[in-house]
Structure 1
Amino acid sequence: MKKILIASCVALVLTGCANKGTSVDKDAQITQSWTVQQLYTEAQDDLNGKNYTRAVKLYDILQSRFPNGRYAQQAQLDKAYAHYRDAEPAKALAELDSFEKKYPKHENLDYVFYLRGLVAFNEDTSFVTKLASQDWADRDQKANREAYGHFNTLITRWPDSKYAPDARDRMSKLVVAFAGNEMAIARYYLNRGAYVAAANRAQNVIQHYQNTPFTEEALAILAASYDKLGQTQLSQDTQRVLLSNFPQSQFSEGWKSNDIPWWRYWK
């Protein structure tokens, strides 16, 4: 009786393995007689339908059966995009790196850099929607700079690329992120009495990120830092620049009337 039970168990295990293998190879069997165009069309349908796992599998089958030609090349790019949309950035970047090595002069190389930029840009998926309220000190500046670098390469090498306008728009948002990060650090130093460090961060915003919404506050922090450092003339000069450029600034109220302490703005 024991032998029969053991044999039955073994048979069940083998049957399970066989069924599993059949499931895994189902797409390969179904598509066995398909042309390269049929495979690509089916994969595109899955990609557009957000069935990224199956799309990637079909692209793999296509590349395996038809390794040469434009369909195989496009399949690799589409596979990278599928990984990107499926929140698998490492796999997406690996496909893009592989594609560039294989085809260093490919006509779609601009897209490679564009997609690389998107992968880094969307490291924090809430970035765009929280642009105004984001705590910039917590934002991954390494990802920001990588995204900016990829987009910059794109618009420098392919200024007329169809991806260039969107890349420029995203670069503008990234510049705001850089400035916001500097301001978050400047506030941190100011509130902790590190006035030299606060002044340096504020100066960096004024010098390098003048066209962002943070210039006004940077001038205010710079004036406040100079004041606490005993640099009265520099503080007054900075206040005049603030009043000249932002006459309605909330930060200038205290200096206009001389009765509102500067530090209330950052507490």
Structure 2
Amino acid sequence: MKLDVLSQFSSRAIRFAAMGLMAVVLTACSGMNLFGPPKIKEEPIVPAQTLYQGALDDMDRQYYQTAITKLEKLERQHPRDPLTEKGKLMQVYANYRIGRFDEAILASDRYLALYPSSSEVPYVLWLKGTAYFAQIKDITRDQQLSRDAIDTYNLLINNYPRSEHAVDARDKLLVAYDQLAGKEMSVGRYYQGNGQYAAAINRFREVVERWQTSTHIEEALYRLTETYLLLGLTTEAKSAAAVLGHNYPASDWYKRAFELLGKQGLAPELNSGSWLAGVRA
């Protein structure tokens, strides 16, 4: 009888101990969020003016990354505050200043989509175009960035021709044009060296017709003279040399073209039926 009572007491004690242990385990698991998603810690709300002024102070000290963090928080916590528009503009500039050009381009696109009538649009277009421009590689690389810069600068110039930023955009356009022309020349010389004369002529012609303000125009006209002669198209060769001499009479490229024709008893002469007659200044 006594043994039965002790046995029952021991069983109850074990069950209570097991239940207590389970409660402890569950409490611990609950604290570690093993049975549900982790609790999201709420971000303390900072006044919009405080975030904006803090970002301005950071930018004055050239702490652009910390300024971007504050501006992103301003956008996140106060999406409808008037300061948010200014903050988005500052994000474009700050990303550009630290060389995060892709982020600057994305930030400019967001700003232009949200505030297409803003007085700051010319500036944002200039920043976007210059972010492309800053990434332009040498002429042996793909020139998509040059094309993107040209498109953006032209958008700025065509829509805001009196903007102070349009002046700088025009100057940078010449460099971007030169990049594209240089790429065409590089490919054209390759084709010419491999005996692919028709393909080479197409590249040089592209430079003459599209990139007349580039520094490659004189060589392009000489290469046309040279390549037409290689194909036996003397009339076109003389026309290319004539256009070169008319526009750049003191050019070394013209002297070379003149001598090249002279070796075959030819002289520069523009054929009025040639496509080159249309590009003569």
Q: TM-score, normalised by structure 2?
A: 0.69
Instruction: Map 1:158-177 to 2 at 5 A.
Output: 158-177=160-179
CA–CA distance in 1 between the matches of 2:246 and 2:152? 38
- Structure 1's consecutive aligned runs of 4 or more residues displaced over 6 angstroms after TM superposition are none
1:117 aligns with 2:129: yes
- Give 3-state SS (helix, strand or coil) of 2:59's partner: helix
Relative to structure 1, the CA distance from residue 158 to residue 198 in structure 2 (aligned partners, 3 Å threshold; closer, same or farther) is: same
Amino acid at match of 1:243: G
Counterpart of 1:256 (choices 249, 254, 259) is 259
CA offsets 1:134-159 (integer angstroms, 9 cap, x no match): 5x132x31111111111111111122
Counterpart of 1:75 (choices 83, 87, 91) is 87
Instruction: Map 1:1-267 to 2 at 5 A.
Output: 36-124=48-136, 134=138, 136-138=139-141, 140-251=142-253, 252-253=255-256, 255-256=258-259, 258=262
Contact 2:208 2:221 in 1 (8 A): yes
Contact 2:192 2:227 in 1 (8 A): yes
CA–CA distance in 1 between the matches of 2:246 and 2:103? 52
State percent identity of aligned pairs.
30
CA–CA distance in 1 between the matches of 2:113 and 2:241? 54
Relative to structure 1, the CA distance from residue 239 to residue 161 in structure 2 (aligned partners, 3 Å threshold; closer, same or farther) is: closer
CA–CA distance in 2 between the matches of 1:209 and 1:180? 10
CA–CA distance in 1 between the matches of 2:157 and 2:226? 39
- Give 3-state SS (helix, strand or coil) of 1:210's partner: coil
- Give 3-state SS (helix, strand or coil) of 1:163's partner: helix
Amino acid at match of 1:202: F
CA–CA distance in 1 between the matches of 2:256 and 2:60? 55
Relative to structure 1, the CA distance from residue 248 to residue 165 in structure 2 (aligned partners, 3 Å threshold; closer, same or farther) is: closer
Amino acid at match of 1:93: I
Unaligned 5+ runs, structure 1: 1-13, 15-24, 128-133, 261-267
Unaligned 5+ runs, structure 2: 1-31, 33-41, 265-281
CA–CA distance in 2 between the matches of 1:248 and 1:101? 50
Greater C-alpha radius of gyration: 2
- Give 3-state SS (helix, strand or coil) of 1:168's partner: helix
- Count matched residues: 224
CA–CA distance in 2 between the matches of 1:259 and 1:49? 67
Q: Bigger shift: 235-244 or 189-198?
A: 235-244
